[in-house]
Structure 1
């Protein structure tokens, strides 16, 4: 048996404490040699009688590592007298660092232990926790290539860094009050405020009703107590949009219905925002007027310290950026953008190299892919060429494929404004810098006017890459299941191959060949985007009859407005055509008087779901017709059924709630039925589901039950968002499959 070897370890082995872990195992087994970072890999030269035992232990890795492969090659030469950690080398970029993760329990204990070296220090971390992606500038992962480079460790930190028995052995983020990042408090105009204990003073400000912007790992949050939530909504101009809250776990357990899996995720390394059902749907209405509440626990040292001084049971903790825009990361930027919104700023002087928002999860499904989850690394073979997926327009991410892995970025936002467009380019630059690929293929959305499409074309021309356009909903399906299947894609908007707006689609095929075998009835959107803001327009676009006109007239529409609306529809002037599931739900919400104006993305459909929550739906006839060899669900007849029932029960809230539930239930039954019919015709068993509408619990569960009752398997990708955050990944998979074929 060999007692020596040159070991190559590939995977996520940077920023996870892998080298000190190897060192500790080497000492335990009497191994001599060395370990070092080589690009994104770890290499080990080892000599010793217990080499095999050492190797088996090393293969297990650290809690945060992900090992793809371990290879052992022959080793010549004489062994050194001991084992050492050598200086990192630049090299192969086959792996990645982990995402930013929550402060571990050991570090929280250090922070809260009286008399300890880390007592009260907000930026305490170790090899098992803390920032990673948000501070790194390049690989290999060493302090000089992170935002910590400007904070030389003091003698005490250097001693722990060099101590193999310490969990901060080779922790690149090690710091303390003597040498590390420091906090500062500022007035609403940005002037520095000098206080003895800034965190305690900030807690007092919050308890006294002030609104404070707090700079965290990946950017600024706006914080206030629940009593001030109405004032914050007024200042932000978001009077109806729900807020996320941060609270201790016990309080969250008292207020919400949470499963064991959700409770575990809540306090995990990821610590995302969990969208949970309230125990009392009518509670905390000033914070969320839905039956759900977005909750997270303190996940940084700063948060834990803040809550030790806070009297309030919870804080509103919402991203400081406008919806769809990138996180604010600097004090100057925050003071400029948040003028008139916040009263104070609590910040720190460590650079945020790569901004990163909070991840959001509902019922085990990722809504926003960010801190804790991303950058997300997915093993998949798509050929030998590096591929870039530039994503969609809304809720975008970007994905880079290289060396057998797709790397999907944290949430970028809505790429329809200059700030987020610049952030898209910034994110692509970051991934390219970390992975150093030779990009030969660039996949983009089919829509020719998206800024992400424009950038794909500019970059392709600049570097000589091949462009691959990918239809939006096809990307949804490919991101969910890359092999042959029936695919259901239900969302708000996506540019169709026929030039209309799709959003309720059933496909058959496998990347890169799909056929559209079913969809929702194409209906009219009077005024185009205006119909998304004023969903009563959408209602008339689907039901352009006298009954709808009468309803709108009773709600205050003027004769002039109604005349213009009628002419738009009859003449097809400024009126788009769409098969969108989201627009049908918007129209239903408007019909029932639940939401007549959208004030935030997805509001009409979300409020429709919440209004119907807990109500048993009725079974309606499913109206399916055939158009151009595709089965089509006639949503106008579904809405007509709803309208007739509503007219008879307009003052009965319980009856209206049942109608709201029935619309969602029967819409889902119809879509699932079309998919099952297509699966029968194709002779396949797997049906994939994706799209933002699938976050709707009744719709998703109804589709799943219908599919399973018909004997088919429903596939949902729980590692990627159901919404548009999965599109860039799907684009890469599609382009790779197309190139291989």
Structure 2
């Protein structure tokens, strides 16, 4: 009996990150492998495939698509949309021109680091792209930062103005070539070029701008160098005078500068690297990784003063490698911007805005369409698990990868927090969080905020049904929400958004107990919250416990001068007698200043109430003499953590009280301050020992509060969120302590624990409330 061969024509829609990652050439190759004919093309939903052949071969073909796709691809779904018996329609397999549809479902790849194959060619004198600073292929190079629209094809990117030469065009069309359909493909003949300019924008006459740049850096000059998502200010970190000059010109007295190295062995000269941190450094995202310093004599102390860590990234563009390799073990590569303004990414803006900062500019003529900062991460080692990644700033390399919801929800535009702003757009079961935008109080950042909303809505074709914003009535984001007028606005309390963000990050449903510790957030009662224990879900929450209110004398000024916060708490305890305390933060103030501050505190003049754990850390830092005033956000708490000394601490617990009233627990920290004053006056404990006792006490206080709430509610599932959990000691020790008490403990995995993750939580809450309001 003759064997029956089942021959079919089947059409599939593939969704995910499948454009700009070598996906169509991959499909072509496996179609040939399994003797299938048909076609593949990019469309606005992803990739469309029609294949003709034996059923068994089609099955193997689809399996390879789902499980063996290119490294940079992410296959979200392979859906069969049409099938019929074969009629020998096709005699070959082809890659067809892209199509645009009315509905867009495609995902876009983040910008990626230059791959090893391209690096080999970059430094190969026999290769036609030898030392070409924009070498790339299907597996690497710019993506998100150059895309104007989708589908991801050259005409819809900033490479549109560079027609390919014959050699590049041949590679582009050759299915066996690594640059087959590589959209940014270019070379010395046809692609972008670099140009060196003086401080006033005049071209520097040179045949080799990169070699001249290296020479200038070695002479201690400050260069603004255009990268993938914006400009860096670049300086030799071993030239102490150059580093000091950069601080002076940038008006950045103490905040650490990031370092960039060409390879891992270079980093090992000045930083300690664990195996887990090594994985982060060489990951495809190439983020800035926080690493412990080594004792060295060559990196200037002014790179990261009063700090035990460096922020280090490996070079991720060919241009970076050309400057670094063989010339510097590291370079300072800090975002090129005026203080509190967004990173500069347009050439004209760079020369105008960096006037007086940069000595020279290394520019190029490939336009950056979307500015994007470097991402910042850290490894968190826990005894019972593989290292967790803590994302501090989510930007280049991670954006615009989506975060998954557990279910499809209505489209939402969430406007994020006022500080460390990101926005979030949701579509079905996906949440698209923007790159780090910044602090919306700055007009240029607010303009960037609006542009980002428009761009993401366009490329993902998202029309929101509802807008989510913060509760604070004076935030620019809140005003933006209500100015839209057409869409309903769901206002979300800041710390509820933190809790929801961590729930989405871990695919959790409620109810959960949220330990949300940060610097500031507008509370339901109009006070500044920040030391919160919440119970709830995506719809509702209630405050189960909080740090009892203390004052911020001078309001925002107290954030920059934390000694004011400490003085406020001490005045609550000692009243007028506080002036008699023989401790540093009192004795160093003149009597007039003390009298004014004490009256301000006692009368509640410009002294808003807060429950902020972040401000509590600041106050203790000031009280112990670690940091009384700050130059950048979080400095007092960072230096307090780094001062920790665990030695000679046999009985480290300090006093505090948890007082239950009307179903809510208030945590009184005044006894702790009274005890710290007593210990300071004994003059036998170091700052490090007292810092450790404070941190230890906070861990025990969090654990005890959670245990009491669990006993009352039965809730055992617990999420940790808020910027205070960037304190590595507090996060790790709190996690371990809670796990030891049999809690199910969850921390952030894909989004920042700080306000960079707020927009995701807002989006989830607004979507669930919208669904609840419109359910039958």
- Class of the TM-score when normalised by the shorter of the 2 chains: over 0.9
**1:498 offset after TM fit, Å?**
0.7
Q: 1:701 to 1:126 in 2, by over 3 A?
A: same
Alignment check: 8 A CA contact 1:272 1:359 kept = yes
Task: Tell me: CA distance 1:471–1:127, structure 2 relative to 1, closer, same or farther (3 Å).
Answer: same
2:260 corresponds, among 240, 246, 271, to 246
- Deviation sequence 1:205-252 (CA, Å, 0-9, x none): 111111111110000000101122222112212121111111231132
- What is the CA distance between 1:615 and its match in structure 2? 5.4
**TM-score, normalising length from structure 1?**
0.96
The Cα RMSD (Å) is 1.8
Structure-to-structure mapping, 1:172-183, within 5 angstroms: 172-183=183-194
For residue 359 of structure 1, the aligned residue among 363, 375, 387 is 375
**Conserved in 2, the CA contact under 8 Å of 1:110 and 1:119?**
yes
For the 8 Å contact 2:267–2:330, the answer to whether it is kept is: no
Residue 133 of structure 1 pairs with residue 155 of structure 2 = no
Q: CA deviation at 1:2?
A: 4.5
Q: Do residues 56 (structure 1) and 63 (structure 2) align?
A: yes
Match of 2:10 in 1: 5
- Residue correspondence of structure 1 range 687-702 to structure 2 within 5 A: 687-702=718-733
2:309 maps to 292
Structure 1 range deviating more: 101-110 or 230-239 = 230-239
Contact 2:440 2:446 in 1 (8 A): yes
Check whether the contact 1:689–1:715 (CA below 8 A) recurs between aligned residues.
Answer: yes
Quote the residue 2:415 is aligned against: 390
State which drifts further: 437-446 or 661-670: 661-670
How far off is 1:385 after superposition? 2.1
Q: Residue 540 of structure 1 contacts residue 548 of structure 1 at CA under 8 Å; is this kept in 2?
A: no
CA distance in 2, matches of 1:319, 1:668: 35
- Tell me if structure 2 keeps the 8 A contact 1:549–1:562: no
Partner Cα separation in structure 1 for residue 407 and residue 78 of structure 2: 22
Tell me, which stretches of 5 or more residues in structure 1 are unaligned?
Answer: none
State the partner residue of 2:204: 193
Q: CA deviation at 1:32?
A: 1.3
Aligned to 2:96: 86
What aligned pairs does 1:650-689 form with structure 2 within 5 A after superposition? 655-689=686-720
User: Which residue number in structure 2 is paired with residue 318 of structure 1?
Assistant: 334
In structure 2, distance between residues paired with 1:402 and 1:103 = 31
Cα pair 2:535 2:542 within 8 Å, conserved: yes
Distance 1:210 1:127, change over 3 A: same
Instruction: Tell me the equivalent position of 1:95.
Output: 106
Q: Determine whether 1:416 maps to 2:431.
A: no
1:276 aligned residue: 291
Mean Cα displacement is larger for which, 27-36 or 360-369?
27-36
Measure the CA separation in 1 of the matches of 2:310 and 2:114. 24
2:421 touches 2:437 (CA, 8 Å); kept in 1? yes
Aligned to 2:680: 646
Deviation at 1:10? 1.1
Could you tell me how far apart the structure 2 residues matched to 1:190 and 1:206 are? 18
- In the TM superposition, residue 438 of structure 1 has moved relative to its aligned partner by 2.1
* Equivalent residues in 2 for 1:471-486, closer than 5 Å: 471-481=493-503, 482-483=508-509, 484-486=511-513
Corresponding position of 1:626? 660
Which stretch of structure 1 is more off in the superposition, 376-385 or 242-251? 376-385
Instruction: Quote the residue 1:261 is aligned against.
Output: 276
Distance in 2 (CA, whole Å) between partners of 1:714 and 1:635 is 25
Q: Which string of whole-angstrom CA distances, capped at 9 and with x for unpartnered residues, describes residues 195-214 of structure 1?
A: 12211111111111111111
Inter-CA distance 51–167: structure 2 relative to 1 (3 Å threshold): same
Q: CA deviation at 1:627?
A: 3.8
Q: Tell me how far apart the structure 2 counterparts of residues 728 and 281 of structure 1 sit (CA, whole Å).
A: 41
Counterpart of 1:564? 596
Residue equivalent to 1:495 = 522
TM-score scaled by length of structure 2: 0.92
Aligned pairs, how many? 734
Is structure 2 residue 89 aligned with structure 1 residue 74? Answer: no
Q: Distance in 1 between matches of 2:732 and 2:378?
A: 13
What is the correspondence of 1:102-181 to structure 2 with a 5 Å cutoff? 102-181=113-192
Query: Given the alignment, which residue of 291, 296, 319 partners 1:302?
Result: 319
Aligned counterparts of 2:208 and 2:679: Cα–Cα separation in 1: 62
Q: CA deviation at 1:78?
A: 4.1
Contact 2:656 2:670 in 1 (8 A): no
Structure 1 pair 454–659 and aligned structure 2 pair: CA distance change class (3 A): same
> Which residue in 2 is equivalent to 1:65?
73
Aligned with 1:345: secondary structure?
strand
User: In the alignment, is the contact (CA less than 8 A) between 1:382 and 1:740 conserved in 2?
Assistant: no
Relative to structure 1, is the Cα distance of residues 676 and 255 closer, same or farther in structure 2, using a 3 angstrom cutoff?
farther
User: Matched residue of 1:270: which SS?
Assistant: coil
Structure 2 counterpart of 1:637, from 671, 675, 687: 671
Cα offset, 1:606, TM superposition: 0.9
Distance 2:190 2:109 in 1: 25
Residue pairs, 1:384-463, within 5 angstroms: 384-459=409-484, 461=485
Q: Does 1:236 align with 2:250?
A: yes
- Alpha-carbon spacing, 1:616–1:218, altered in 2? closer, same or farther (3 Å): farther
CA 1:474/1:290 → structure 2, altered by over 3 Å: closer, same or farther?
same
- Of 606, 612, 615, the residue aligned with 2:638 is 606
Is this contact kept in 1: 2:8–2:83, CA < 8 A? no
